[in-house]
């Protein structure tokens, strides 16, 4: 992970509070502020969020970078928005912080991409590969040799058995269970509490126990809050 330094959290909603808490507990970064590209601020002065400056609009990305803030992390859960905003930030020269809760269990052989968030109580087992800007949410478990694509979100208490593949910007719902060697396609969604026995194609929604494909996923490029 990057060396200690200032970080801005892109997002000023509920999940930004979770990311800020993880960063504060680790003590690896100093939170320089939050960025909100959805709401409109008044004037050029920043607002306030969790006791830190709150900046508005995409123009603030360049302003913050010029203020010697080298790191950025995404503080919202929408997979499509995370993917899109990460590309914007990268194009403007930002480096990405990684946030791992002190109570998370991470195998030594696991590989974690830049910008990824691993929340409280999560378990990431040997030879797992987490892409960039992934969320492994609270109490989720990712078993051996799983591969999780960029900006995917493994929801709270979800269970991934060994050698599962989760595609880019896919969403695994709260409490879902994925059996070994199953592939969850890019930009697909597994509903909360589902039991997935077989592959889910790209861009589709699967739900139930056992899970069945029920339609095409929409809203994968939602707001960054």
- Which residues are the active-site residues? 144
Structural tokens at position 118: 């691993």
Which of 86, 32, 105 lies closest to 63, judged by CA?
A: 32
Which of 53, 21, 52, 57 lies closest to 36, judged by CA?
A: 57
Q: Where are the alpha helices (DSSP H) in 160-199?
A: none
Termini Cα distance of the chain: 25
How many Cβ atoms sit within 10 Å of the Cβ of residue 29?
23
Residue 222 DSSP SS3: coil
Structural tokens at position 87: 């590309």
Number of helical H runs and strand E runs in the chain: 3, 25
Distances (CA, A) of 128 to 97, 101, 113, 162, 177: 19, 17, 11, 9, 17
- Cα separation, 40 vs 57, in Å, equals 7
């Amino acid at each position: 992970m990057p060396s200690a330094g200032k970080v801005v959290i892109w997002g000023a909603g509920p999940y930004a509070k979770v990311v800020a808490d993880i960063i504060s507990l680790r003590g690896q970064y100093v939170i320089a502020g939050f960025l909100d590209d959805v709401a409109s601020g008044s004037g050029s002065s920043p607002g306030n969020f969790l006791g830190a400056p709150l900046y508005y609009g995409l123009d603030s990305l360049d302003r913050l970078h010029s203020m010697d803030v080298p790191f950025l992390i995404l503080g919202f859960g929408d997979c499509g928005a995370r993917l899109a905003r990460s590309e914007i930030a990268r194009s403007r020269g930002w480096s990405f912080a990684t946030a791992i809760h002190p109570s998370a269990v991470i195998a030594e052989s696991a590989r974690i991409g830049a910008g990824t968030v691993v929340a409280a109580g999560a378990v990431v087992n040997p030879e797992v590969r987490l892409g960039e800007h992934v969320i492994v949410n609270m109490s989720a478990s990712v078993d051996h040799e799983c591969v999780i694509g960029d900006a995917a979100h493994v929801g709270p208490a979800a269970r991934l058995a060994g050698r599962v593949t989760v595609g880019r910007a896919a969403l695994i719902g709260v409490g879902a269970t994925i059996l070994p060697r199953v592939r969850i396609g890019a930009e697909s969604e597994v509903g909360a509490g589902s039991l997935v026995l077989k592959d889910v194609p790209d861009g589709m929604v699967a739900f139930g126990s056992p899970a069945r494909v029920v339609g095409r996923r929409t809203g994968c490029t939602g707001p960054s809050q």
